[in-house]
Amino acid sequence: MQVNTLILGAGAAGMMCAAHAGPSVLVIDHAKAPGEKIRISGGGRCNFTNMHTDPARFLGQNPHFHKSALSRYTQWDFLDLVDRYKIAWHEKTLGQLFCDDKATQIVDMLRTEMAQAGAQLWLQTSLVDLSHDGVLFTAQLERDGKRHSVTARNLVLATGGKSIPKMGATGLAYDIARQFGHQVTDTRPALVPLTFSDQRFAPISGVATPVIAEANGTAFEEALLFTHRGLSGPAVLQISSYWKEGDSISVNLLPGHDLVTALRSARQTHGKRNVTTALAEILPERLVTHLSAELALSGNVGDLSDRRIDELTNYLRNWTLIPTGSEGYRTAEVTLGGISTDRIDSKTMMSRDMPGLFMIGEAVDVTGWLGGFNFQWAWSSGVACGRAIAKRT
């Protein structure tokens, strides 16, 4: 069988690319259904983009690489598509756009777009072997127990990163990129809960509080959630992309609170109130109980000196912790790092060294913040690649 374009991976980026890549496209995926991560994303409602998409909200060794694709297919372009399909949506918070109903509406929309473009989709299909003769790629595929040999002028690597292997994530794109001479940067789980081997937060698991969490100079003001194994919630998921084993994190438990003034005034008005009771007016009670030994909280507010009030405030503003690790790829939303962008053309997503080889989506060393940015990268890089292939054809 001969096609113009073979796309490996029917996820967010692969499907978007197929819808724009012109005629004669075959998309293969080893999963039973396309877009499985879209289906489970955003608690089943898919946070499909972010109104505040901006290149500064992405990480990667080259901070400029993603600018071109993001500016040529923007969050507004994707929203336009969603509106054309009459998919109802809402902004949840911080520019994050979600479906009102079901994430599968996005999958169905992409399937329709692909079908309208004439792309074929082969599910439960795996790649057995791949070669290149200088002009064409030849892929040996296995589908329904049968071998198929497919030749293609263009090959698109869209098999994503390593996060959630249970859902079929593999390092296939990295292996093929390496096979054709591309470098792959170090990869790490990102947007992932952080863990503590002593499970010190197990007694307060389920408690959530607004914080400013910071790792290696980057801070996010969002909610923090204590879990059996450590820390989660959007603030922690965000900083996990900036954290490495051995690094400390700092948590400001008092965003928007002037604890110094509150305790000084309570000293005058409610001097007989227990210090823990006074703090529990600002922080969740179970968290105050948890912190009481570490902070030696005892006695009444009336007995607090100015110095002690300053000391408590500074401690709670710079609560410093050293996580042992993270939950890893088992639960990470994304993989940080990936195929190095050094030898990829940022306008077309094509290899600079091997014409016809394209790399898109999470497989590439571009990682977004939490909040719809990773899907936007999948859409933008998929469209950039698809349009380039259509032009090449």
Ligand X SMILES: Cc1cc2nc3c(=O)[nH]c(=O)nc-3n(C[C@H](O)[C@H](O)[C@H](O)COP(=O)(O)OP(=O)(O)OC[C@H]3O[C@@H](n4cnc5c(N)ncnc54)[C@H](O)[C@@H]3O)c2cc1C
The Cα angle at residue 383 between residues 378 and 386, in degrees rounded to 5: 120
Tell me: does residue 236 bind ligand X (CB under 6 A).
no
Q: Is 351 in the site for ligand X (CB under 6 A)?
A: no
Rounded Cα gap, residues 134 and 355, in angstroms: 9
| Residue 205 one-letter amino acid | S
Instruction: Give the count of residues interacting with ligand X (CB under 6 A).
Output: 38
> Which of 3, 5, 11, 53 touches ligand X (CB under 6 A)?
11
Among 4, 24, 126, 138, binds ligand X (CB under 6 A): 126
Taking Cα atoms as reference points, which of 92, 329, 290, 65 lies closest to residue 200? 290
Q: Which lies closer to ligand X via its Cβ, residue 356 or residue 372? A: 372
Q: Is 42 in the site for ligand X (CB under 6 A)?
A: yes
Interface region with ligand X, contact rule CB under 6 A, candidates 5-13, 85-93, 141-149, 219-227: 5-13
How many residues in the chain?
Answer: 393
Binding map of ligand X across residues 175-204, x = CB under 6 A, - = no contact: ------------------------------
Which is nearer to ligand X, 51 or 321 (by Cβ)? Answer: 51
Decide: is 296 part of the binding site for ligand X (CB under 6 A).
Answer: no
CB 28, min distance to ligand X, A: 6
Is residue 60 close enough to count as binding ligand X by CB under 6 A?
Answer: no
Closer CB to ligand X, 41 or 326, in the complex:
41
Closest by alpha carbon to 368, among 380, 359, 356? Answer: 380
**Could you say which of 168, 255, 325, 355 contacts ligand X (CB under 6 A)?**
168
Any contact of residue 123 with ligand X (CB under 6 A)?
A: no
- Based on CB atoms, which residue is closest to ligand X, 175 or 310? 175
Tell whether the torsion through CA atoms of 131, 134, 137 and 138 is positive or negative: negative
CB nearest ligand X: which residue? 11
Pick 40 or 202: Cβ nearer ligand X? 40
Cβ proximity to ligand X, 312 vs 366, nearer residue: 366
Question: CA 257 to CA 316: how far, in whole Å?
Answer: 11
Asked if residue 12 binds ligand X (CB under 6 A), the reply is yes
Closer Cβ to ligand X, 319 or 375, answer by number: 375
Instruction: Select from 145-153, 241-249, 282-290, 356-364 the region that touches ligand X (CB under 6 A).
Output: 356-364
Contact in structure between 297 and 316 (CB atoms under 8 Å): no
Q: Does 323 contact ligand X by CB under 6 A?
A: no
> Taking the complex as a whole, how short is the minimal distance between the CB of residue 21 and ligand X, in angstroms?
14
Question: If binding is defined by CB under 6 A, does position 170 make contact with ligand X?
Answer: yes
- Interface residues with ligand X (CB under 6 A) are 8-14, 29-31, 36-37, 40-42, 46-47, 126-127, 158-160, 163-164, 168-170, 172, 333-334, 361-363, 372-375, 378
